[in-house]
Amino acid sequence: MSLIKQNKDILKKAQSDGVKFINLQFTDILGIIKNVAIPIERLPDALEKGVWFDGSSIEGFARIHESDMVLKPDISTYRVIPWMTHERKSARFICDIYTPDNEPFEGDPRGILKKAIAEAKKLGFVYNTGPEVEFFLFRKDEKGNIVPLPHDVGGYFDYSPRDMATDVRRDIIFALEDLGMQVEMSHHEVAAGQHEIDVKYSDALSSADNTITLKSTIKSIAQKYDLYASFMPKPIFGINGSGMHVHQSFFNSKGKNAFYDPKDKYKLSKIAYGFVAGQLKHVKSFSAVTAPIVNSYKRLVPGYEAPVYICWAQINRSALIRIPRFSPGREQATRCELRCPDPSCNPYLAFAVMLKAGLDGIKSGLTPPTPIEEDVYEFDSKELEKKKIETLPGSLGEALSEMSKDKVVIDALGEHTYQKFVEAKKAEWDAYRIRVTQWEIDNYLEQI
């Protein structure tokens, strides 16, 4: 079908849906969703020529003297926003970002993921991802202040009446389904006020689109209940933080799972082993992207079910990469689960560096070390050293240092985005490390 015909069909669809406004969405390098709204009357021009905007004020984009950017809607991402009223009925497109010369902008996170996907495609693979997004629902205090005050006192998989957020999650699921996503599971997580919603896996680009849509949907529906949703990795000291475990697989051109080998003990192919080995090799370096904020490293500590030890296993959930147990008849479900990302990341950049790391392992013929099936959390320093198990960076500063040494990760981001990302993250790290915290006051002010 020609692009002109596709554009005409989308215009007819929007008109029949009664849409009044169009939201053109994209993300900055930090993963913050940005939005440009236009009336429906401007949609034909937007589809044909794109919409100009000023990129100089967007984190990680262009400098003042080269700030003109163009948003080009991806027509496959057209969705009517279900929680908008009829009078303000709106639809959204997720956009790719171009320069005025009609070239893809090198700092567009979505474009960066597309480049990595294209490399995998040349090797004959489709990269699929299925993130499990955890989050907290909080209520405001009696003065209306934003505080980490859990909305309920439920626990892992609790059911009403202890899980008072059942209605909120239900409405979130209805909204996600209206947006074209297939929700596989939702449940209360371990901590009070903590929840998880899992959307069916898909190709990495659609999955990243779904992730930013899921986050904005959760926030919007929570607001209708006078709650606020937070994807902060560790909002409350002493309880579990929120992660974003990502299930990953390769499918070949025939639609078969390229990670599956029936003759292998773990049912993994040589491709899968190379992929796992590549991610283990580069995980220290891409942690700055998959766990990108200061607070991420308050979650990535031993205990609280957050994996920090660089190893892999099948049944061991303390391992960084887990291979879900194989079930007969479910060959297509063969996958590996990377457990260190958190939901504060930009999913486009996160999936891009994860994919490039895995591809490097495949192309370099790497093999992973022996799997660790014991509980790594119980290992002391001697046992960790004996088994040659390293740990993830302990802070954002350490993660940035590791990233600076890794050409594969830098190449995945591209020089422009790498420089802009490091600039923003170093500023964040410096702002944090010079602050004097209440813990320091409590422990040092009188004693020293």
Question: Could you tell me which residues come within 8 angstroms of residue 350 by beta carbon, excluding any fewer than 6 positions away?
Answer: 246, 286, 289, 290, 341
Number of Cα atoms under 13 Å in the Cβ half of residue 183: 21
Residues 34/74, Cβ–Cβ less than 8 Å: no
The two beta strands, 390-391 and 309-310, are antiparallel
Query: ω before 82 within 30° of 0 (cis)?
Result: no
Please pick, among 28, 108, 337, 342, the residue that the annotation labels catalytic: 337
Please pick, among 247, 282, 339, 402, the residue that the annotation labels catalytic: 339
* Known active-site residue 132: yes
CA distances from 27 to 31, 34, 42, 110, 172 (A): 5, 5, 22, 8, 22
Six token digits for residue 8? 């005409």
Please pick, among 79, 110, 188, 245, the residue that the annotation labels catalytic: 245
Please pick, among 108, 132, 360, 406, the residue that the annotation labels catalytic: 132
* Known active-site residue 317: yes
Please pick, among 96, 158, 196, 360, the residue that the annotation labels catalytic: 196
* Known active-site residue 169: no
> Measured in Å, how far apart are the chain's first and last C-alpha atoms?
74
Longest dimension (CA), the chain: 75
Six token digits for residue 444? 């040092």
Integer Cα distance of 224 and 219 in angstroms = 9
* Known active-site residue 106: no
Please pick, among 317, 411, 416, 428, the residue that the annotation labels catalytic: 317
Helices 270-290 and 415-433 cross at an angle (nearest 10°) of 50
Give the type of residue at 169.
R
Residues 34/26, Cβ–Cβ less than 8 Å: yes
Please pick, among 54, 66, 141, 167, the residue that the annotation labels catalytic: 54
Residues 184/214, Cβ–Cβ less than 8 Å: no
Please pick, among 189, 198, 360, 402, the residue that the annotation labels catalytic: 189
* Known active-site residue 162: no
* Known active-site residue 245: yes
> 372 φ, ψ to 5°?
-110, 110
* Known active-site residue 189: yes
Integer Cα distance of 429 and 286 in angstroms = 16
* Known active-site residue 88: no
Chain position carrying tokens 């991610």: 279
Please pick, among 108, 134, 198, 360, the residue that the annotation labels catalytic: 134
* Known active-site residue 119: no
Give the type of residue at 375.
D
Q: Which residues are catalytic?
A: 54, 132, 134, 189, 196, 245, 317, 337, 339
